[in-house]
Chain A
């Protein structure tokens, strides 16, 4: 049973790290600021979510697991609102110039 948990953790964290890499490459390669914003916000959230998912069985106590999920939820909310704010700032910038 223990190896099954470890395998699940390894697979989830590898997928999370792959999404992080996708987000970073997206941040570098995409031509336009708005597309970069999209790539960054979505890919990172998914990457972090998968890493937290992978870490959950490793957490020593229920509280530890809940704290992991709390961190992920906070990052989820924070980057959603920040993405909207930055997009609005970009739109104002676009209309201003």
Chain B
């Protein structure tokens, strides 16, 4: 059973690697953000599988942290890509 779990974790990481090709070729920054989101979710799935297979303590907590960070990475991108008028509005009321 553990070999199957580790194999599944490897397969998920393989799919994440395929998704990262989009990061290289991605026409826009938005596609790169999506690939990072895919990396986050795939990483979480692989972590959970490895945690179940090897029984390492705390791997689920790492997966929980990765889930949080992946969300923040995308939010940071969206904020940085805010159009001029929002940023001007922000500066106006400072």
B18 touches A24 (CB 8 A): yes
Please give, as numbers and ranges, the residues of chain A lying within 8 Å of B33 by CB-CB distance: 86
B48 touches A71 (CB 8 A): yes
Our pick among B28, B41, B55, B74 for the contact of A75 (Cβ within 8 Å) is: B41
Please give, as numbers and ranges, the residues of chain A lying within 8 Å of B84 by CB-CB distance: 96
A55 vs B49: C-alpha distance when bound (angstroms)? 8
A84 vs B37: C-alpha distance when bound (angstroms)? 13
In the complex, which residue of chain B has the Cβ closest to the Cβ of A85? Answer: B78
The 0/1 profile, CB within 8 Å of A marked 1, for residues 20-42 of chain B is: 01100000101101110110011
The 0/1 profile, CB within 8 Å of A marked 1, for residues 62-86 of chain B is: 0110011011001101100111100
A79 touches B49 (CB 8 A): no
A40 vs B83: C-alpha distance when bound (angstroms)? 24
Number of interface residues of A (CB under 8 A): 48
A14 vs B5: C-alpha distance when bound (angstroms)? 10
B28 touches A68 (CB 8 A): no
Our pick among A6, A27, A60 for the contact of B34 (Cβ within 8 Å) is: A27
B22 touches A33 (CB 8 A): no
A8 vs B19: C-alpha distance when bound (angstroms)? 28
Please give, as numbers and ranges, the residues of chain A lying within 8 Å of B42 by CB-CB distance: 20, 24, 44
Known interface pairs A20-B42, A88-B78; A71-B34 also in contact (CB < 8 Å)? no
B64 touches A24 (CB 8 A): no
Binding site for A on B (CB under 8 A): 1, 4-5, 8, 11-12, 15-16, 18-19, 21-22, 28, 30-31, 33-35, 37-38, 41-42, 44-45, 48-49, 52, 55, 60-61, 63-64, 67-68, 70-71, 74-75, 77-78, 81-84
